């Protein structure tokens, strides 16, 4: 999975994007703390920004297993897949 430049999608440069496949990009959030609903809302806004630049692009979230159930439900309702990865120590 190769990194992708966030500025190509008019996102802040601190956002980490990764190409997952053809027309499929992932927002990477590998953090120790739990992803809460407020974070998920920001991720949804980032996904909308990506899709406003490239409407055919499928967006997923790469995160650790620490994500609340309300966040998972919000992401699922918005069509954003979740890919679980372990944190590197």
**pLDDT band, residue 52 (cuts 50/70/90):** very high
Mean pLDDT value across the chain? 91
Instruction: Work out the average pLDDT over 16-44.
Output: 93
Q: Record the tokens describing residue 75, joined without a space.
A: 């992401």
Q: Which residues pair with 82 in a beta bridge?
A: 61
**pLDDT band, residue 3 (cuts 50/70/90):** low
Question: CA 34 → CA 37, 79, 83, distances in Å?
Answer: 10, 21, 15
Site of tokens 């739990």: 34
Predicted structure pTM score: 0.89
In this structure, the chain runs to a length of 89
Question: CA 17 → CA 6, 28, 69, distances in Å?
Answer: 6, 6, 23
Is the pLDDT at 1 greater than 60? The verdict is no
Q: What pLDDT shows up at residue 2?
A: 52
Is the pLDDT at 13 greater than 80? The verdict is yes
At residue 62, the 3 state secondary structure works out as strand
């Amino acid at each position: 999975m190769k990194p992708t430049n966030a500025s190509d999608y008019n996102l802040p440069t601190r956002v980490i994007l990764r190409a997952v496949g053809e027309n499929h990009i992932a927002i990477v959030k590998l953090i120790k703390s739990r992803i809460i609903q407020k974070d998920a809302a920001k991720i949804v806004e980032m996904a909308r920004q990506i899709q406003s630049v490239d409407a055919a692009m499928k967006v997923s979230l790469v995160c650790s297993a620490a994500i609340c159930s309300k966040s998972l439900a919000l992401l699922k309702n918005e069509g954003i897949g979740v890919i679980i990865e372990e944190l590197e120590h």
